[in-house]
Amino acid sequence: MLTTFNLDEYIYQALRIGASGFLLKAAPAAELLNAVRVVAAGDALLAPPVTRRLIERFSEFRRRPASSPVLDPLTPREPKCSASIARGLSNAEISQQLMIAEQTTKTHIGRIFTKLNLRDRAQAVVTAYEAGLVTPGDHRREGGHGARPPS
């Protein structure tokens, strides 16, 4: 989504309906071109001020029980996989954390996307936060992205 409106409700609505990117029209041309390439490659991208506000906003939420009705269709393993996605882990890292094969991780992710009607990891992250699977800072406490060993 490309917009002049830097409003939270626009961001949330765009992500809920499937946007994989959210940039402001004031972004430099190089940033816009990069965003198109990133989204076309299947990844997600948010403007840095948007990312900062989303993190601040989610940090205001208290952890809700991970028994949200949204998660009802998932098997017991799939919420763990979904939480790992929200922590920014790659498929290989999720596989290592859950002690499963990478193909099994890919299968879990595909089923999560299908069961929860998600298009990409950006939507999976929003859903995991809204369902209370993760809260800001979880990745530091639980060995996620911030605790990766150097490569």
pLDDT tens figures, 108-129: 999 999 999 999 999 999 999 8
Q: Which secondary structure element, helix H or strand E, spans residue 21, and what is its range?
A: strand 21-24
Domains and CATH numbers, the chain: 2-60 (3.40.50.2300), 69-147 (1.10.10.10)
Cα separation, 131 vs 64, in Å, equals 7
Percent residues over pLDDT 70 in the chain: 83
pLDDT tens figures, 86-113: 988 999 999 999 999 999 999 999 999 9
* Residue, of 84 and 13, whose pLDDT is higher: 84
